[in-house]
């Protein structure tokens, strides 16, 4: 009788070991064996909501379970050979399929996926649009969607945003980014059985607004005093921001004084619009080259498209000049490249075309004249349109 009880006790302990060994949470895949020689496997898959990964979903076999991570993935380990039913669960959601029957037979199982739907709504929809500034996509703007609650997304490099899982109802969309105002400030939208697209916004930097008075000109940059009451002693004008220029790390530079966006590389020799610079361009070719500039050219990764860049007018080009400096006549610490070229071993600043044509007519020539800016000394002069000068494209402006 005692031997029989010992046999029963040993059998019960073995069963307990098998049950405990078969339970477990999420983890990596693979096979494993316990001390009794039983081999275990894994079952894995993904849970999505409108094709977007859904985290926090518990997927259970009844005795083992795992929870989806931020990529919507789950892996249940320590699964012995046998038949199981996978069941996903998360408060507020239903799933398709509601469960899956699986059989483990000497190998790991993958691709056991589920699709989630918000409870109480058989279908959800998306709301999408674009945010731009000066005709250029705005990246990293935060867009809020307010309904029964508030959710947020961030615009991508193309300025696009998308809200998923919106049920039928009325919502308010609000874009925000430090230093900018938006038109419209908000949008009221109604989801009624279909996705919503084209909910677009235009951003304006906070330094601009409606001009209701006189325009104040900026300082020239001259600080040295040469005579009483000269520019260096009076320093009239709007103070320059510090820093004056910001390298946007996408091939562009923002002038924090004017808000204009300039090409970082002023000596790009890539072919653009079928025009190839070679020690500069004629005035007409400079216009063509600038207007055809776009992202992927000249180190640009700003998402700009053909038609957004242009040759600056003479006042815009001259606004870069710091007359307190020379060769180049740019403020200290400027981020631009290629402003100077080497001539006979010396660095000489270049002359750049503006888009402004001179009204002066030379009766001795069939060529007309256009305005340019010499960045060595910062002076403005007109030159024949067939002359080759360098090109410094700009975008933005009013």
Do 347 and 384 belong to one domain? yes
Residues 276 and 141 in one domain: no
- Residue 267 covered by a domain: yes
Domain of 196: which CATH number?
2.60.40.10
Whole-angstrom distance, CA of residue 38 vs CA of residue 35: 8
**CA-to-CA separations, 134 to 49, 288, 373, in angstroms, rounded:** 35, 20, 25
**93 and 175 fall within a common domain:** no
Q: Which has the higher per-residue pLDDT, 84 or 70? A: 84
Task: Measure Cα distances from 304 to 202, 291, 388 in Å.
Answer: 15, 11, 26
pLDDT for 109 equals 95
The pLDDT assigned to 235 comes to 81
25 — pLDDT class (breaks 50, 70, 90): very low
pLDDT of the residue at 127 = 94
- The answer to whether residue 217 sits within a structural domain is no
Specify the pLDDT at position 222. 78
Query: How far apart, in Å, are the Cα atoms of 92 and each of 118, 121, 163?
Result: 6, 10, 18
DSSP state of 63: S
Examine residue 228 and state whether it is found in any structural domain, yes or no: no
Domain count, the chain: 3
Quick check: is 93 in a domain?
yes
Of the residues 118, 146, 163, which one is the last residue of a structural domain?
Answer: 118
| Distance, C-alpha 122 to centroid of its chain | 33
Asked if residue 104 and residue 134 are part of one domain, the reply reads: no
Identify whether residues 246 and 103 lie together within a single domain: no
Q: Is residue 220 part of a domain?
A: no
Residue 250: band (very low, low, confident or very high) from pLDDT cuts 50, 70, 90: very high
Domain presence at residue 301: yes
Same-domain status, 253 and 382:
yes
Identify the domain containing residue 41 by its residue range: 22-118
Residue 214 lies in a domain: no
Residues 6+ apart with CB under 8 A from 373: 314, 317, 318, 320, 321, 351, 352, 354, 379, 380
Q: Which residues contact 225 (CB under 8 A, 6 or more apart)?
A: 232, 233
H helix intervals, 140-262: 231-234
Residue where one domain finishes, among candidates 95, 118, 141: 118
Rounded to an integer, what distance in angstroms lies between the CA atom of residue 351 and that of residue 111? Answer: 63
Q: Does 151 score more than 60 pLDDT?
A: yes
User: Is pLDDT at 258 greater than 80 in this prediction?
Assistant: yes
**Domain limit, last residue, from 118, 153, 180:** 118
**Quick one: 48 and 193 in the same domain?**
no
Domain match, 257 and 384 both: yes
Distance of alpha carbon 119 from alpha carbon 93, whole angstroms: 5
Q: Are residues 340 and 247 in the same domain?
A: yes
pTM over cut 0.75: no
Q: What is the mean pLDDT of residues 1-26?
A: 46
For the chain, state the CA radius of gyration.
33
Same domain, 59 and 133: no
> Does residue 218 fall inside a structural domain?
no
pLDDT score, position 19: 40
Q: C-alpha dihedral over 338, 341, 345, 346, to 10 degrees?
A: -90
Of 115-124, 235-244, 301-310, 322-331, the one with minimum mean pLDDT is 115-124
Same domain, 261 and 398: yes
User: What is the CB neighbour count within 10 angstroms for residue 164?
Assistant: 17
Question: How do residues 155-214 score in pLDDT, each as one tens digit?
Answer: 998 899 999 878 888 899 999 888 788 999 999 999 888 899 999 999 887 544 454 666
CA separation for the pair 391, 372 (Å, rounded): 10
388 and 252 within one domain? yes
Rounded-to-integer distance, Cα 252 and Cα 394, Å: 9
Q: Which two tokens stand for residue 307?
A: 């038609």
């Amino acid at each position: 009788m005692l031997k029989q009880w010992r046999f029963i006790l040993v059998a019960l302990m073995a069963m307990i070991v098998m049950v405990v060994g078969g339970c477990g949470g999420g983890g990596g895949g693979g096979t494993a064996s316990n001390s009794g020689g039983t081999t275990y496997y894994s079952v894995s898959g993904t849970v999505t909501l409108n094709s977007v990964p859904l985290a926090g979903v518990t997927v259970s076999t009844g005795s083992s379970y795992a929870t989806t991570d931020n990529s919507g993935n789950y892996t249940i380990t320590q699964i012995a050979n046998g038949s199981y039913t996978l069941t996903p669960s998360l408060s507020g959601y239903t799933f398709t399929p509601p469960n899956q029957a699986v059989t483990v037979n000497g190998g790991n199982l993958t691709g056991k996926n589920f699709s989630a739907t918000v409870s109480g709504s058989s279908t959800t929809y998306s709301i999408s649009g674009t945010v731009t500034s000066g005709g250029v996509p705005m990246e990293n703007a935060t867009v809020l969607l307010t309904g029964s609650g508030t959710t947020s997304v961030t615009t991508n490099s193309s300025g696009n945003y998308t809200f998923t899982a919106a049920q039928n109802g009325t919502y308010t969309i609000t874009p925000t980014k430090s230093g900018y105002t938006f038109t419209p400030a908000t949008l009221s939208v109604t989801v009624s059985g279909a996705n919503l697209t084209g909910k677009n916004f235009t951003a304006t930097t906070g330094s601009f607004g409606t001009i209701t008075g006189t325009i104040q000109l900026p300082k020239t940059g001259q600080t040295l005093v040469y005579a009483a009451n000269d520019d260096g002693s009076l320093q009239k004008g709007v103070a320059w921001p510090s820093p004056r220029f910001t390298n946007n790390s996408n091939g562009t530079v923002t002038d924090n004084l004017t808000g204009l966006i300039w090409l970082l590389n002023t000596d790009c020799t890539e072919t653009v619009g079928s025009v190839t610079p070679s020690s500069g361009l004629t005035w007409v070719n400079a216009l063509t080259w600038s207007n055809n500039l776009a992202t992927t050219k000249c180190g640009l990764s700003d998402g700009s498209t053909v038609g957004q860049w242009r040759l600056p007018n003479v006042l815009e080009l001259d606004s870069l000049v710091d007359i307190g400096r020379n060769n180049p006549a740019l403020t200290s610490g400027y981020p631009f490249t290629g402003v100077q070229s080497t001539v006979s071993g010396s660095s000489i600043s270049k002359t750049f075309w503006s888009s402004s044509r001179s009204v002066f007519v030379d009766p001795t020539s069939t060529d007309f004249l256009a305005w340019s800016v010499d960045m060595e000394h910062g002076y403005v002069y007109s030159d024949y349109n067939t002359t080759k000068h360098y090109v410094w494209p700009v975008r933005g402006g009013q």
